[in-house]
A and B are shown apart, each in its own frame.
Chain A
Amino acid sequence: MIAGRRVHFGFPAAARRRCARIAAPLTLLALAACDTPTSMLAGAGRDAVLVERLFWIMLSAAALIWVLVNGIAFYAARTEANPERERVARLFVVWCGMIVPTVVLVALLVGGMLLLRDMRGPRPDFQVTIDGEQYWWRVGYDTPAGRVVTANEIRLPAGRTVGLALASTGVIHSFWAPALGGKMDLIPGRTNRMTLTPLEPGRWGGNCAEFCGTAHAQMRFEVEVMPAPDFDRWLAAEAASARVASDAGLAVFTSAGCGACHAVRGTGNAGTTGPDLTHLASRRTMAAGILPLDRDTLAAWIRDPAALKPGALMPAFPDLKDDAMQPLLDFLTGLK
């Protein structure tokens, strides 16, 4: 510091002004994020509402305590030491340092556990199984017409409670759709259960929330909450066999060996290792929510999946020439 200049505690005035200029829009941005499909403050599910209430209670309490503690510290720093008030000080430490925090923490703990009980409370109306794969989500619905398997897009009816059975085969993943509810790990060798009660129709986002490998950050998913009648119609359609839009494309799909890993129900292709593609074209995204599902992206993906998603386990098909690729794309984009 140059001698003679006023010494600031902290940053010089110019820097503070610059910070303020940047911070103001950043704060707005942060607040705007509260409205995104992946915000835990969106309140689109019963559990998210419960979590949000707890969040606001804790935030207000924390703010209050912060103001009180800093106020007292400020006051204490400006007060002369006074031996006559030592008894008061000791009482203050006992109450505010031991008794009050204990009561507050116990209350929070009890409140949290009651909340956990509430979140597990409702009996699910139906079951969805979710398997964490590397690096995508296998989603299964048990319907009277048989098991319906899809990937990465989870459709749920608004107002009904769904029980999620979460499992993983390779490594630990974590399922979190913040707008709808809490988070739950998927642990190899066991099935974890949670319930969700979506309230608001709309498209809500989620992500793997436990580092699982190279493409962890690209392991997203989408939850589409639909009015219950729409959901029932969708599930019935999803249970149907595939619609083959291009026989030539199906022939390419089969002979190139796609069916070794992918199932397209009703075509004899019944692989289980990769995502079920029976109604691929009814999904809006691919590669676990990171890419739009369209012809060009599909073609690029088939030629070299790892170029679009590092660590993707699907092997590349750079040897599929255009005369095979075009019918194949017709077939895939026709899988409504």
Chain B
Amino acid sequence: MMIRLTWRRVGAALAAASVAGAGFWLAAPYNISARLEHWPPVEYLLHGYMRNAVSNRTALTDPPPDMDMSDPALLRLGAGHFVAGCATCHGAPGVPRNPLVLQMMPKPPYLPETDPLELPEIHWLTYNGLKYTGMPGWAGAGRKDEGWAVAALVRALPGMSAETFRELAFAETDPPERAAMPFGTAGGTLSVVENCARCHGADGLGRDGTAPKLAGQSPDHLFRALTLYATDARQSGIMEPLAATLTEDARRDLARHYASLPDGTGGTPPFGQGDAARGEVLARQGAADRQVGACLGCHGQPGNRAPRIAGQHGRFVAAWLALWREDQVTPGPDAARMHAAAYGLTDQDIADLAAYFAGQTAP
């Protein structure tokens, strides 16, 4: 039998559907208790939608060509953040998860034993998080660059030994053994300074330039930078969650501590393809045709509060010049001036400056 489609019948069907929908919403028969698994068709719909959404949104994304995704330095940065921000829910090699986490719904995947997604997909999830789950977005607004370190680490997690992970995430610090992942703390009973040392080194010289060298920096600058991170005035999904926990006194103590450490080595291993001689000319004179100010007009100028960059790792110099070139990173006139000085830099300029400053010894 054929039902003839009329406006009246369509209207009646729509009205009936609305009433049924409203009734479902009011009576709420679908149990949303986290203690129950999803009904399989619902699970299929939700999970499939998530996979489609992530896959579609990263179809045109590639990892930055200048980043080597198997670079141990990048893995160390990723692990340094992973252990503080991700491991509580996603686990780490060799450490079972906390029972509390296992009661989450949806259950966060145990990444050491999960087939990894594509790098751009992990990066997307790291930066954006997921609605209707416990997965937060990235705390550093706009800092998509940081997510690649996490993506590189997550890709490398399956099959990674517990020792390797410990070395990547904790460096020479010595966190206590745990039978299962503690909830919500990174290094267990690591002190604040030890926690910094995981990435910046106990000697404050930084590990491979993914984190800056702090030793010998001016205490005012270190305190200012920590405070910017702690107050959400400078964006970083890695530094903000850690700095936010520090009281003003703790920030001051940390700044004093690292400022007092000897700069030691003087110079860092070469990084990148830059021409240090060209970088020196640029640092001393600027470039009138690209509106680039001379770096040394402020950095290293007695009485100027710009941080010392002589002897910083080239990777760090290059990464931050690229950030300063995009925008002023931080509110305030200092930052506006840094952006004004850097916005005309070419990629080659950045490589040259990185080579020059990395080769400098601090005064």
Contacts and interface: CB of A to CB of B under 8 A. Distances in A.
A260 B303 contact: no
A319 B289 CA distance: 28
B355 interface: no
Contacts of A256: 304
B302 A255 contact: yes
Contacts of A319: 333-334
Which interface class (under 10, 10 to 19, 20 to 34, 35 or more) fits B?
20 to 34
B336 A271 contact: no
Interface string B322-361: 0000000000011011011100000000000000000000
B286 A272 contact: yes
Contacts of B292: 273
Contact of B298 (A133, A260, A272, A314): A260
Contacts of B341: 260-261, 315
A317 interface: yes
Nearest to A320: B333
A261 B333 contact: no
A169 to B, nearest CB: 4
A255 B304 contact: yes
B103 interface: no
A257 B285 contact: no
B285 A272 contact: yes
Contact of B336 (A254, A269, A316): A316
A260 B297 contact: yes
A255 B303 contact: yes
Nearest to A255: B303
B310 interface: no
A270 B281 CA distance: 12
A119 B104 CA distance: 85
A59 interface: no
B91 interface: no
Contacts of A259: 294, 297, 301
B293 A273 contact: yes
Contacts of B306: 257
Nearest to A259: B297
Query: Does more than half of chain A's interface fall in helix, strand or loop, or is it mixed?
Result: loop
Contacts of A315: 333, 336-337, 339-341
A255 B306 CA distance: 10
Nearest to A167: B289
A251 interface: yes
B297 A261 contact: yes
B295 A260 contact: yes
Given A270-B285, A273-B286, A258 B333 contact: no
Contact of A261 (B286, B301, B304): B286
A318 interface: yes
B336 A260 contact: no
Residue of B292, B293, B306, B334 with most partner-chain A CB within 10 A? B293
Interface in B261-302: 284-298, 301-302
A272 B333 contact: no
Nearest to A169: B289
B333 A316 contact: yes
A313 interface: yes
Given A134-B291, A257-B306, A273-B291, A318 B333 contact: yes
Interface string A153-177: 0000000000000000110000000
Interface in B102-159: none
A272 B339 CA distance: 17
B175 to A, nearest CB: 42
B298 A271 contact: no
A221 B246 CA distance: 54
B330 to A, nearest CB: 14
Contact of A257 (B284, B288, B289, B301): B301
Residue of B295, B302, B304, B337 with most partner-chain A CB within 10 A? B337
Nearest to B339: A315
Contact of B294 (A251, A254, A260, A318): A260
A213 to B, nearest CB: 12
Contacts of B304: 255-257
Interface in B16-71: none
A317 to B, nearest CB: 6
A169 B333 CA distance: 27
Residue of A169, A258, A260, A315 with most partner-chain B CB within 10 A? A260
Contact of A169 (B288, B298, B334): B288
Contact of B297 (A170, A251, A271, A313): A271
Contacts of B334: 319
A315 B293 CA distance: 11
A261 B344 CA distance: 13
B256 to A, nearest CB: 23
Interface in B166-197: none
Contacts of A133: 288
A271 B285 CA distance: 5
A165 to B, nearest CB: 16
Nearest to A260: B297
A298 B285 CA distance: 24
A313 B337 CA distance: 10
Nearest to B302: A255
Contacts of B298: 257, 260
Contacts of B301: 254-255, 257, 259
A47 B158 CA distance: 79
Nearest to B332: A319
B310 to A, nearest CB: 15
The 8 closest A-B pairs by CB, nearest first: A260-B297, A255-B303, A257-B298, A169-B289, A315-B340, A260-B293, A315-B337, A272-B288
26 contacts: A133-B288, A169-B290, A254-B303, A255-B302, A257-B301, A257-B304, A258-B297, A259-B297, A260-B295, A260-B297, A260-B298, A261-B286, A261-B293, A261-B294, A271-B294, A271-B297, A272-B294, A273-B291, A273-B292, A315-B336, A315-B339, A315-B340, A315-B341, A316-B336, A318-B333, A319-B333
Given A260-B286, A273-B294, 15 more contacts: A254-B301, A255-B304, A257-B293, A257-B301, A261-B294, A270-B284, A271-B286, A272-B286, A272-B287, A272-B288, A273-B286, A273-B287, A315-B340, A317-B337, A318-B333
Interface of A: 133-134, 138, 169-170, 251, 254-261, 269-273, 313-319
